[in-house]
Amino acid sequence: METILVLAHTETNGSLAAPAREALHTAATLHKSLAGSKLVVGLIGDHVQAAANSIAAGPATKYFGVTGADFNQARYATDAAAAEAICKAAQATVVVAPATSRWARVLPGVAQRLGGRADTHVTGVAVADGKIFVSRWYYRQRMEGALTRIPRPWFLGIDPGSQPPCECGAGTAAVEMVPVELTEAARRTTVAGIREPKADAQTIRPDAQLLFVTGAGWTKKQADGQTHVPEAEKLILDFLKQARASLGSSKSLVDLGGEGQAVLTFLSHLNQIGQTGATPRHAKGLSTCCHGEEPHTVGWRFIGERRAISLDPNCGWARGKADVLYVADAFAVIANVNKLLAAQNQPL
Amino acid sequence: MSTAYQIVVCGSIVPDPLQTLEPIASPAGPALKNEMMLPAVLDPWAGHALYEAAALAKSQPGSKVWLVSLGPKAKLQQVMMTIAQKVPFELVALDGSASGFTDATDTAAALAEAIAAIPGLDKSKLLVFGGWESASRGAGATMQMVGERLGILDQFQGVDRLTVNVDGSLEILERIEGGKHQVSKCAGAPALLGWATGNLPEPKNNPQVGMVNMRSVMPALQKARPVKFAGDGLAFASVALPKQLRETQVVKDKLPDDIAKEIVEWIKQ
């Protein structure tokens, strides 16, 4: 009989973020499919009562908490100690957690500590013949595998955005507090803060509907034999602002920066998608001036509707990968798109 | 104050990203078709970790870099011919599978054992580096398990920058959600850092560095300990390439203005 533990951390305001609710949905589905299983929740943060209350009408039968200022910061030593204590208190055999940066840092280590196993970037969970099967991608999203394991506890890190969130109603939850004794060694690291670009310079927006992918073509010589990098920068930034899109970049474009070549100044490795970058999840994606072979296009493996603008009708980013390919000059098209969006976004 | 670090980089090999990969079933579980024939490269994020380690060692006199690498001996030798020309390091080789389908737990056990066996290792000076994920398994799990086995409680993942402060403490920038970085301060070694891209370009080949490295690389490859993975309790039900192929509608001969209108309508839907 499995004891399924949903492990979540609260946000700085004490709430539960969407990825935590997605993990809860996954665990609830698993619980429903596994006869005789138990579903419990473990929460870590400065305070956890409000978060527990926000999901109290859900299917979990018990709530565990580790609280205190030490557990408010995303730090390996304290997060691992808290997760370990909750797993032991809950006698968890399957641990379902959102693969946030905070849990991704910690959970495999906790699995090691408890003699268990960890599978991360899980995109699907199913039950067949009483066994749990998880789906995840291998070789940078180029092939998908389904696997099962015997050793327990089994830690599953659920990729944010891959599951629907749990629509658990609110109520009042009785949270059993789990004591955690911290040694001084656990406090050798302190979180000094978060560094982020200014609001108007932030080009990565995970919640955006649209991913705008820029390729190396933006920095190449155009029809007049000249490069137009400043113009490209303005067009792209205007588009991001008007469409409220998130910006992704093909590997080649980001790498040019490391090689000291002319590049779009606002791009960093954080924008990189594809082979050695991110594979973000957005409802729509528009790629511009991208080229390259199939392996590069894993950058939009998890994009719903895809369109591309390229002068190359045989572009690897588009053929068989995009729904619509516009064979056109992206400079001209995006300039027109920006004008139309600006007009539509004008207050009446 | 300058600290002499012992920097151990964990880094394996992966198929060249431009190769077409096809999964097959083998008696030992899933594998890649013609796996031993595929050209290999050093795992990209592990590569960044190696270059950052070399830069740190250069800036901290008395520091030394080891590269602990697990892979088929012949493939390791092939990749080392290139990597050894980049930065100075001493190789610790393990002869075993570098497949993405092996278990992170098994890999971590082998790596941790190899690190612990490095002669003269001083934990108070130890920095363990690696990629935050591999381009094969892509789990982002192995390094944490290595750290746990070595008793390292200060661990960081998705690292883009490490700064050694004057007092010997470490300032570390880790990638978090939404294009942001978390800034942490750590009292000092021992620590484990899983690197993302870092800030350094790939170093140019330096034949002199290559000659020095190869004096230790070849003996290390010759005495590489064979590693067999049990994969206890792990069973794959399937491994397959994604089947969805989109019917791409190719729009030619349309004016930019008309395309723009169509795109705006689509965005607003």
Query: What is the rounded average pLDDT for all residues in chain A?
Result: 91
Amino acid identity at A334:
I
Superfamily of domain A199-345: TPP-binding domain (3.40.50.1220)
pLDDT at A294 over 70: no
Q: How confident is the model at residue A117 (pLDDT cuts 50, 70, 90)?
A: very high
Element (H, E) at A230: helix A229-243
CA distances from residue B194 to B116, B134, B146 in whole angstroms, order as listed: 18, 10, 11
Element (H, E) at B71: strand B64-71
B240 vs A139, A144, A195: nearest CB: A144
Is A334 within 8 Å of A234 (Cβ atoms)?
no
Between chains, do A101 and B20 touch, taking CB under 8 Å as contact?
A: no
In chain B, where are the structural domains located? 6-226
pLDDT reported for residue B1: 63
| Residue with the larger pLDDT of the pair A278 and B81 | B81
pLDDT at A257 over 90: no
Tens digits of per-residue pLDDT, B134-151? 999 999 999 999 999 999
Nearest CA in chain A to B233: A150
pLDDT at B226 over 80: yes
3-class state of residue A39 by DSSP: strand
Q: For residue A35, count CB atoms less than 10 angstroms from its CB and return exposed for 0-12, middle for 13-18, buried for 19 or more.
A: exposed
| Average of per-residue pLDDT across B110-125 | 97
pLDDT reported for residue A78: 98
| Residue with the larger pLDDT of the pair B154 and A319 | B154
Q: Give the lowest-confidence range in A139-153, A292-306, B65-79.
A: A292-306
> ipTM score of the complex?
0.95
Between chains, do B184 and A117 touch, taking CB under 8 Å as contact?
A: no
pLDDT reported for residue A126: 97
Q: How confident is the model at residue A348 (pLDDT cuts 50, 70, 90)?
A: low
Structure tokens at B237: 């039900």
Please name the residues between 216 and 275 in chain A that touch chain B, using a CB distance below 8 Å: 243, 258-260, 269-272, 275
Sign of the dihedral defined by the CA atoms of residues B80, B86, B91, B94, in that order: negative
Sign of the dihedral defined by the CA atoms of residues A72, A76, A81, A85, in that order: positive
Amino acid identity at B228:
K
Tens digits of per-residue pLDDT, A98-112? 999 999 999 999 999
B27: contact with A, CB 8 A cutoff = no
In chain A, where are the structural domains located? 3-187, 199-345
A189 vs B184, B250, B252: nearest CB: B184
Between chains, do A100 and B100 touch, taking CB under 8 Å as contact?
A: no
Between chains, do B139 and A121 touch, taking CB under 8 Å as contact?
A: yes
Q: Which residues of B fall within a CB distance of 8 Å from A250?
A: none
Q: Which residues of B fall within a CB distance of 8 Å from A319?
A: 248
Instruction: Name residues whose C-beta falls within 8 Å of residue A81's C-beta, 6 or more positions apart in sequence.
Output: A180, A182, A186
Between chains, do B264 and A305 touch, taking CB under 8 Å as contact?
A: no
The answer as to CATH 3.20.20.70 being correct for domain B6-226 is: no
Q: Which residues of A fall within a CB distance of 8 Å from B264?
A: 337, 340-341, 344
Nearest to B103 by CA among B241, B232, B14: B232
Q: Which residues of A fall within a CB distance of 8 Å from B45?
A: 276
- Provide the shortest C-alpha distance from residue B52 to chain A (in Å): 14
| Average of per-residue pLDDT across A192-196 | 94
Residue carrying structure tokens 């969006």: A341
| Rounded (10°) angle between helices A101-113 and B142-150 | 50
Nearest CA in chain A to B99: A139
- Provide the shortest C-alpha distance from residue A172 to chain B (in Å): 30
A74: contact with B, CB 8 A cutoff = yes
Is A57 within 8 Å of A171 (Cβ atoms)?
yes
A314: contact with B, CB 8 A cutoff = no
pLDDT reported for residue A101: 97
| Residue with the larger pLDDT of the pair A33 and A294 | A33
Q: Which residues of A fall within a CB distance of 8 Å from B147?
A: 109
What share of chain A in percent tops pLDDT 70? 93
- Provide the shortest C-alpha distance from residue A201 to chain B (in Å): 11
Count the Cβ atoms, other than its own, within 10 Å of residue A242.
19
What share of chain A in percent tops pLDDT 90? 73
Please name the residues between 52 and 71 in chain B that touch chain A, using a CB distance below 8 Å: none
CA distances from residue A126 to A23, A31, A108, B153, B237 in whole angstroms, order as listed: 14, 11, 21, 34, 12
| Average of per-residue pLDDT across B29-58 | 96
Rounded-to-integer distance, Cα B147 and Cα B186, Å: 15
CATH annotation of A3-187: 3.40.50.620
Nearest to A298 by CA among B18, B43, B13: B18
User: Is A199-345 the same fold as A3-187?
Assistant: yes
| Residue with the larger pLDDT of the pair A206 and B167 | B167
pLDDT reported for residue B242: 86
pLDDT at B58 over 70: yes
